[in-house]
């Protein structure tokens, strides 16, 4: 299993602390309190985004290249949709625990950072 997980968030400098508390709270919810309807909504959104991303020759070529590098062949939309549909709440919880719990992370921030919590605070959540 390989991959990269990233977040991009923006807040006024007076609200950085609130933003980080909200981000960490939501990441924790994803790991511990995700519901079936959340997963179903995400699967529907992922399939729609995937299909919309295949609009145009350049995007299709990029998709074919990415699949050839990853799988050694091109997967049909039906195969990809089947894999998406196989995902369960437990799969999401397991992935979230693998990525978030007791793991070091990298973070970059710019701007008014006076309210940014410490690395230790973020990691402890």
Of 75, 55, 56, which is closest to residue 65 (Cα–Cα)?
75
- pLDDT given at position 1: 53
Alpha carbon 100 to chain centroid, angstroms? 11
Q: How many CA atoms within 13 Å lie on the side-chain side of 97?
A: 9
- pLDDT given at position 106: 84
**Inter-residue contact 115 to 13 (CB < 8 Å):** yes
Q: Which residue has the higher pLDDT, 18 or 53?
A: 18
- 32-88 pLDDT per residue, tens: 888 999 999 999 999 998 888 878 888 889 989 999 999 999 988 899 999 999 999
């Amino acid at each position: 299993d390989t991959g990269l997980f990233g977040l991009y968030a923006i807040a006024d400098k007076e609200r950085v602390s609130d933003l980080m508390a909200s981000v960490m709270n939501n990441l924790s919810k994803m790991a511990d309190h995700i519901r079936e309807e959340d997963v179903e909504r995400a699967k529907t959104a992922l399939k729609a985004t995937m299909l919309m991303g295949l609009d145009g020759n350049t995007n299709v070529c990029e998709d074919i290249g990415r699949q050839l590098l990853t799988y050694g062949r091109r997967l049909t939309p039906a195969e990809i949709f089947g894999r998406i549909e196989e995902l369960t709440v437990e799969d999401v919880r397991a992935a979230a625990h693998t990525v978030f719990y007791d793991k070091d992370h990298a973070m970059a921030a710019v701007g008014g950072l006076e309210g940014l919590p410490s690395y230790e605070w973020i990691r402890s959540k």
